[in-house]
């Protein structure tokens, strides 16, 4: 009897252990499934929270005022461009506007064609030669605009033809920096049919006219009397100028902090970082008083200088991490070969820092592009250096809000920095996570 009871006891205990073990496995799987579902819900919610405002802006900008002001949301509506037409100056649009739009549109088509088709062309019709022809056509368009556009000093405060001349200089410099003239820099592959396949860098020859043609559209429309495109042009000038200065100064400073034993280096790096610790609202009043004493209020130079000051600290810290990962042996080998320290920096360090420079430029441009507090306080309403964010905010008032016009201007304001970030996407993730070169 006792033996029989023992068998029952041990059998029951074994079954109970198996049951509880199975329950633990099921509970672990359920918890793992629940955690996965919560993570998916969190990601989907974040994506919806990010995309929903952009969707609202796009849809509202395409609605007619009657559909916007209705109390019931209309998901099926007739697409109207009336809100975008409000941003264009009254009267006839100059012909040069359509020339610049055509240049930008066809440049994007050529870039996409050669990027995704991966075609091999004869040497005389190589991407490099086609890119040179396309940039020459853009320069001719700028020259035509230079001689045909009538300046309105009351709108731009300067002769509009100076901007077209600046576009020509910037396009030539950008082409030479992106695509050097020496062909031996490129890795050309000649197949059996004597066709030449170039690397991806040469395809940037089609993007350079696209960028500057977009700026040309803003210049022409601003000169014609468009308030929004004048403010968008200010954002391009101030954001682009501060980004170039911040990335350039930050790269040079980061190289010095990375390669030289500077006395008090850690304290200097902390002091540079401390410039970003205070929010803009705290320091905007002292800066306003200082700018008023120096006559820098409502000037492009004043905002470029201020944005550069706040962005250079971020650029220094980010670029220092990239340059630290570039082996010093490369520079030592260049110095042994007879290069100077400056030549070593230009020909050895900078090419290997392109990834970091691109990532830093994206973040600096986004910061300067979306800056609101300084642009609101340091500029006057309808002034010379008003950027797009304060102007969009000023559209709200006691007379009511034109939601369609606000949505159209916001969507156009979103496009340049989104396109720039998209073009830099190949460098952005690798630059933020890994740096330039791994030892």
The three state secondary structure string of the chain is CHHHHHHHHHHHHHHHHHHHHHHHHHHHHHHHHHHHHHHHHHHHHHHHHHHHHHHHHHHHHCCCHHHHCCCCCCCCCCCCCHHHHCCCCCCCCCHHHHHHHHHHHHHHHHHHHHHHHCCCECHHHCHHHHHHHHHHHHHHHHHHHHHHCCCCHHHHCCCHHHHHHHHHHHHHHHHHHHCCCCHHHCCCEECCCCCEECCHHHHHHHHHHHHHHHHHHHHHHHHCCCHHHHHHHHHHHHHHHHHHHHHHHHHHHHHHHHHCCCCCHHHHHHHHHHCCCCCHHHHHHHHHHHHHHHCCCCCHHHHHHHHHHHHHHHHHHHHHHHHHCCCHHHHHHHHHCCCCHHHHHHHHHHHHCHHHHHHHHHHHHHHHHHCCHHHHHCCCCCCCCCCHHHHHHCCCCCCCCCHHHHHHHHHHHHHHHHHHHHHCHHHHHHHHHCCCCCC
Of 17-26, 292-301, 339-348, the range with the lowest mean pLDDT is 17-26
Q: Is the pLDDT of residue 38 over 90?
A: yes
Q: Say if residue 414 is exposed, middle or buried (CB neighbours under 10 Å; 0-12, 13-18, 19+).
A: middle
- Can you tell me which residue has the tokens 């392109």? 354
Confidence of residue 357 (pLDDT cuts 50, 70, 90): confident
Distance CA 54, CA 46 (A): 13
Confidence of residue 265 (pLDDT cuts 50, 70, 90): confident
* Digit-coded pLDDT (tens) for 124-137: 667 777 888 888 89
Confidence of residue 10 (pLDDT cuts 50, 70, 90): low
Q: Is the pLDDT of residue 398 over 60?
A: no
Partner residues linked to 126 by β-bridges: none
CB 338 within 8 A of CB 419: no
Distance spanning both ends of the chain, measured CA to CA: 76
Q: What is the pLDDT of residue 396?
A: 64
Q: Is the pLDDT of residue 420 over 90?
A: no
Give percent above pLDDT 70 in the chain: 83
The phi, psi pair for 58, rounded to 5°, reads: -65, -45
What are the structure tokens assigned to 152, written together? 């309105």
Once rounded to an integer, what is the mean pLDDT over residues 377-389? 85
More confident residue, 126 or 328: 328
Distance CA 24, CA 43 (A): 28
Q: Is the pLDDT of residue 194 over 50?
A: no
Once rounded to an integer, what is the mean pLDDT over residues 204-233? 86
* Nearest Cα residue to 376 out of 355, 398, 391, 395: 391
Q: Is the pLDDT of residue 48 over 90?
A: no
Q: What is the pLDDT of residue 133?
A: 85
Q: What is the pLDDT of residue 417?
A: 86
* Digit-coded pLDDT (tens) for 177-189: 777 665 544 444 4
Mean pLDDT of the chain: 81
- Can you tell me which residue has the tokens 């930008």? 104
The phi, psi pair for 196, rounded to 5°, reads: -110, 125
Q: Is the pLDDT of residue 381 over 60?
A: yes
Confidence of residue 338 (pLDDT cuts 50, 70, 90): confident
Once rounded to an integer, what is the mean pLDDT over residues 180-202? 50
């Amino acid at each position: 009897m006792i033996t029989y009871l023992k068998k029952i006891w041990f059998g029951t205990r074994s079954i109970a252990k198996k049951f509880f073990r199975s329950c633990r496995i099921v509970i672990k799987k359920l918890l793992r499934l629940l955690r996965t579902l919560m993570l998916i819900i969190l990601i989907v919610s974040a994506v919806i929270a990010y995309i929903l405002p952009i969707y609202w802006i796009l849809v509202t900008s395409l609605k007619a005022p009657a559909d916007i002001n209705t109390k019931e949301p209309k998901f099926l509506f007739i697409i109207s461009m009336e809100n975008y037409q409000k941003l264009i100056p009254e009267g006839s649009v100059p012909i040069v506007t359509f020339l610049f739009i055509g240049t930008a549109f066809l440049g994007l088509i050529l870039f996409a064609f050669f990027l995704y088709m991966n075609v091999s062309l004869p040497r005389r019709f190589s991407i490099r030669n086609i890119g040179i022809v396309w940039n020459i056509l853009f320069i001719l368009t700028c020259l035509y605009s230079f001689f045909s556009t009538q300046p309105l000093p009351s709108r731009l405060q300067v002769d509009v033809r100076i901007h077209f001349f600046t576009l020509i200089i910037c396009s030539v410099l950008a082409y030479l920096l992106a695509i050097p003239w020496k062909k031996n820099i490129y890795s050309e592959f000649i197949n059996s049919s004597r066709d030449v396949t170039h690397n991806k860098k040469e395809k940037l020859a089609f993007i350079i006219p696209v960028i500057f043609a977009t700026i040309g559209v803003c210049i022409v429309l601003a000169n014609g009397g468009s308030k929004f495109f004048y403010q968008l042009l200010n954002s391009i000038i101030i954001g682009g100028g501060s980004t170039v200065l911040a990335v350039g100064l930050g790269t040079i400073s980061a190289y010095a902090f990375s390669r030289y034993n500077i006395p008090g280096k850690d304290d200097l790096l902390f002091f540079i970082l401390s410039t970003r610790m205070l929010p803009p609202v705290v320091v905007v009043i002292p800066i306003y008083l200082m700018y008023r004493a120096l006559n820098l209020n409502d000037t492009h130079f004043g905002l470029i200088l201020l944005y550069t000051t706040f962005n250079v600290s971020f650029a220094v810290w980010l670029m220092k991490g990239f340059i630290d990962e570039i082996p010093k042996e490369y520079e030592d080998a260049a110095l042994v070969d007879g290069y100077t320290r400056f030549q070593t920096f230009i020909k050895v360090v900078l090419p290997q820092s392109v990834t970091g420079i691109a990532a830093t430029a994206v973040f600096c441009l986004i910061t300067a592009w979306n800056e609101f507090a300084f642009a609101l306080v340091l500029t006057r309403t309808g002034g010379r250096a008003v950027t797009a964010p304060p102007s969009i905010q000023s559209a709200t008032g006691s007379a009511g809000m034109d939601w369609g016009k606000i949505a159209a201007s916001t969507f156009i304001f979103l496009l340049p920095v989104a396109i720039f970030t998209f073009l830099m996407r190949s460098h952005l993730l690798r630059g933020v996570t890994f740096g330039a070169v791994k030892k």
